[in-house]
Amino acid sequence: KGQIVDNADWLLGLKYIDFLRDYGALFSVNVMLTKASVKSRLEKGMSFLEFNYQLLQAYDFLELFRRYNCKLQIGGDDQWGNIVGGIDLVRRLEQTEVGCITFPLLTTASGAKMGKTANGAVWLDEKKYSPYDYFQFWVNADDRDVARFLKLFTFLPMSEIAELEKLQGADIRKAKQVLAFEATKILHGEEAAQEALKGAKAAFGGGASGDVDSMPKYESSFPVSIVSLLAETGLCSSKGDARRSIAGGGIRVNGEKVTDPELSLDSEMLDDSNALLLQKGKKNKLRIIKQP
C-alpha cells in the first residue's frame, strides 16, 4: 500500500549547525562537483541553496529508510547524483545497501523538458487546469512529437498509431485530435473528453461542427474595458501585458483585431446568446458571457 509523506516532517525541525556537523561532514565537495546535475548548473550559475539540495535529498532517503524501511528510490535521470548521495549516506550510517532506479526525462522534439517546473506545464487537477485546457495542451503538441506521445500517453493499438503516423501536413491535426481526446479521456473521462472536443471544434472549426457551450467561458458585466477584461480572465497576466498584446496585434474580439487599448466592450457586440468571443493569439479563445 502506497503512502504519501511530507519531508517537512523531518526537515523543518533540523538545526543547521547540527545538520552540517552530523551529515555535512559525510559529503565530499569534490565528489559533489562531479555530479552531472551540479556540473550542468555551474555553467549557468548555481546558488548555495541549490548546491545544498543534494544533502537534503540524501537525508530524505535516510529518513525514509529509518521511518518506513524504504530501500528503493525512483526518479528522473537528473536526480541520479542526489539519489546516489542518499544511497551512500544510508550505507555509511546504517550499514545497509539501498538502491535506485532512474528514468530518462521526457522531452519535446525541441529538447525542452516536460515537467512540473517546465514552462507550459499542466495540472492534472481539473480545478487548476480544465479538461478543455488539457485537451488543447495535447492538440498544440509539436508535429514531431505526436506519434511518440500517442505511444506514451494513450492505450491505442500500435496498429492504429502506425496509421496515424502516416498523416502529413495539415492532416496531422487529425492525429493531434486523437491524441488530445484519448489523453483527456484517460484523465478526466470520456464525457469530459467529448465536451472538450466539442469546445475545440466550436473555437477553431468555425462553430459549424462544435458546441459553443462547451468552450471555456467567463461571465462579465458590460460595458467593460478590453484591457481590464483581458487581465481579469487570465488571457493576459496583467493590464500592462494586455496593452502590449493589443499593440502587437494579438487580440481579437469576435474575430476582429483590436487596435485601441481604450476600447470599451458593450452589449451591442454580443451575439444572440448574449456572448462574444475574446481571443489572444491563435490558440487562446474565451467565450465572454454577459452576467444576468
Nearest CA to 216 out of 265, 164, 271, 289 is that of 289
Q: How far apart are CA 224 and CA 265, in angstroms?
A: 5
pLDDT at site 211: 64
Nearest CA to 139 out of 149, 130, 129 is that of 149
Q: Strand 72-76 vs strand 99-103: parallel, antiparallel, or unpaired?
A: parallel
Helix (H, G, I), strand (E, B), or coil: what is residue 98?
coil
pTM over 0.75? The answer is no
Q: How far apart are CA 184 and CA 180, in angstroms?
A: 6
pLDDT at site 248: 93
Q: Which residues of the chain have pLDDT under 70?
A: 115-121, 205-211, 214
pLDDT at site 205: 64
Helix (H, G, I), strand (E, B), or coil: what is residue 226?
helix
Return the exposure string of 244-272: e unless at least 16 CB atoms fall within 10 Å of the residue's CB, then b.
Answer: ebbeeebbbbeeeebeebebebeeebbee
pLDDT at site 208: 47
pLDDT at site 120: 60
C-alpha cell at 148: 511518440
Residue with cell 506519434: 147
